[in-house]
Structure 1
């Protein structure tokens, strides 16, 4: 009986202790269970498409058919060095990043060009003395001529008279000094040396003198008729050479300094796509067009077969490369007109806007003057959401403030 009583007493005592322990544990835990979890404080609601407009309550956006998005206080506090965005949201929006690299910016730009006469291949035929026109050969503007082609026949009284004096001296025994003096007078009067030698050889007076084309080319001015009087130095004809020709193109002043040699040029003419064009030399003319901010690039191109005609259209492709510079994808750049910026990703995964200075862009790549360092990460896709978030959180204002501080 004593053993049974002892066992029952022990069980009762254990139950009391267990009950007391449970009661104390329950009391210790109950405050935590009864305290509700802290709720995130909402500052305002906004439409991501119009981040600068804020609303004081949730609902549909008046701008787009979508729900307004809350802006939480803890997001505002955590955005001191950038913006954090839910990884799921960035993944759904296809946010991608690219690394800032250093290298040459390659240009492959095409510019409209125009074929024109080579002004160095230009001849003006003039009357060397007063006379009258005996014959005009059947030629007109636009006709092609070769060097030596006769243009017109002239009678020049002064030359006829001087020749008569020369022959008279020869017949009457004039001295060598006298005869040489008359020949020199003919030279000064403009008589060609070939005609003077013919006079000496034949001892006959020439009454007609033929003016001939001095170069191969195309007649660009010729308007004389037989029987017309012509004064000394009157223009008889203008002839323009066709080989080589010039091809000119307007090059933006911002890339003109990258033009180094003729190997950078690829020239095509739509009218002759089968023709391979050889560039003899090139010149970047001085002076910038005030309206277009361009310089004239002039190419001298072989045209032995005269396939290129003045006035033809052409295309000039310019292939150049800059010195090594910082490079980013062009799609990573946000250009508002007032400023140019990118969204970088720091070591903690925050999106940080940074202002940059752009040098030039080509083929989807943009070269920077300053603002980033080699190896940094920039957002190249899904910029809209992050830039809007940065605008809302005040990260852009901090960026501008820091830029202003550095400027001072």
Structure 2
């Protein structure tokens, strides 16, 4: 992967290039950025630039022997470690390397949910186990084979438990020309012993314009690209996923849900809950994210923020009507319930029970006009 293939992040790209040209390459670096910002892509492009046999002023050449191997993720001095769903205690990242290459090459902005789809995950929890830590130590105990550097890219070190402390010595005192590039999303979940031994590179969210322009350049209609970019909050992964599920018509389903809750139509509501429970986990998450974003747009309309609203004409008309009947407090309370539901869906909650519970909370807010205050409801 080359820097030019990565959306935005021009300042970070230049910083990484300068570290090479000025011979200031740290042996352990932490690329810390939110999901969809391109941290993993930047780490791979940086590794390719370091190993390129004909570096250009602003990027790797893309045509040398090293670059061609990097583009297929088969360079002998490039190693990956990542969370996986082990079936056996001896499983390591190399067990799943073919799936990893396929997943990254298909989408360099992949997240853990996308990665899970390439594996037979069942209900297993992702982690980086002790066998993988030992494998990392073994792989990095040798000198580089072809390039100047031997590079390990460790994606999501948050999934290292205390066994990750076995890596401390090799991180602190690696073999010459051995680099650790850690790619993380949540600094608080990384072992402090590892965090303290790395040079931090903070990667910001993408801007609305960067996400929108990328979507338009990749064939999306202007209107859909604008909506997806706005709702994604700088998360390119989320923007792409929301467009892929656009045909599911979340707007119609969400509006129907609110109307049934407003009218407190129990039997019809239960039938709709059954329908939502069958959407599949990713569609359920997208549906809940859509609901949160739509209600926030309604709140903007109620509080004089019309210029900040980004909705297609049909949805804007609905939001304007809804803003007249749902108070800001009620919208905020429902939004909180939807965000909690999204959190629990990510953690494999029973969707039928979950959506029924959320429905009852929305009925309290809309039909009975009873809003939460702490753990009590007041009218």
Which band: TM-score by shorter chain? under 0.3
Structure with more strand by fraction: 1
Structure with more helix by fraction: 2
- What's the TM-score, normalizing by structure 2? 0.20
- What's the TM-score, normalizing by structure 1? 0.19
